[in-house]
A and B are shown apart, each in its own frame.
Chain A
Amino acid sequence: NAGVTQTPKFRVLKTGQSMTLLCAQDMNHEYMYWYRQDPGMGLRLIHYSVGEGTTAKGEVPDGYNVSRLKKQNFLLGLESAAPSQTSVYFCASSYGQAIYGYTFGSGTRLTVV
């Protein structure tokens, strides 16, 4: 029972490089989310999806794109990485709106130099 799996766990990028973070869940959840966490800032919602083929903007969407081509996967893309995107990224999923159903991944630590 893997739950929510994030890959990679760590990554160092140079400014201007692109990359994709993968989130996979095996719980048949409809909703998926990407958050970022910076020191002293709590978690902030980047993008979310309420079902396969749907995406929507969260609080801090600029500089990121997402795709949900398959129900079990939610991809977060950085087209041109900037040092301000250095952060820990968490993916989460849930059956529906009720947040007691949120299951989080273990995070991806991204450093942009």
Chain B
Amino acid sequence: DAKTTQPPSMDCAEGRAANLPCNHSTISGNEYVYWYRQIHSQGPQYIIHGLKNNETNEMASLIITEDRKSSTLILPHATLRDTAVYYCIVRANSGGYQKVTFGTGTKLQVIP
């Protein structure tokens, strides 16, 4: 799987948009970008994933650059409950089982 790089921590004011970046410069053509988050002491929770196009769901939006070397997870109106560690993962969805490792992610602190 392609390596990802995320900032270790970020702050965001409550009610503002939180933009979490992820670099994946070695991503292959068949690899998707996935985002998970882990709220304190809980198991990680799937947020969103995408291949080339931008994606949006009820939780967040995912913006992938045209060259696919980086992406941004956007939480449009951050709340205190969004305080969590956010993981960016890159992997293919085919070709047999591939081990998935969650790195250290970005610790997002939403400030009142």
Contacts and interface: CB of A to CB of B under 8 A. Distances in A.
B43 A107 contact: yes
Given A104-B43, A107-B43, A42 B94 contact: no
Contacts of B7: none
Interface stretch (B9-17, B19-27, B64-72, B101-109): B101-109
A97 B91 CA distance: 10
B14 to A, nearest CB: 26
Given A45-B99, A99-B91, 8 more contacts: A4-B43, A45-B100, A99-B46, A102-B44, A102-B100, A104-B45, A106-B42, A107-B42
7 contacts: A40-B104, A42-B104, A50-B97, A98-B93, A100-B34, A104-B42, A107-B43
Of B43, B93, B104, most buried by chain A (CB within 10 Å of CB) is B43
A102 B46 contact: yes
Contacts of A92: 43-44
A106 B46 contact: no
Interface of B: 34, 36, 41-46, 49, 87, 89, 91, 93-94, 96-105
Q: Which 10 A-B pairs have the closest CB atoms?
A: A104-B43, A43-B102, A42-B104, A42-B103, A42-B102, A90-B43, A100-B49, A100-B46, A98-B93, A99-B100
Contacts of A97: 93-94, 96-98
A110 to B, nearest CB: 14
A36 B36 CA distance: 16
B95 to A, nearest CB: 9
A4 B41 CA distance: 15
B97 A31 contact: yes
B87 A42 contact: yes
B101 A44 contact: yes
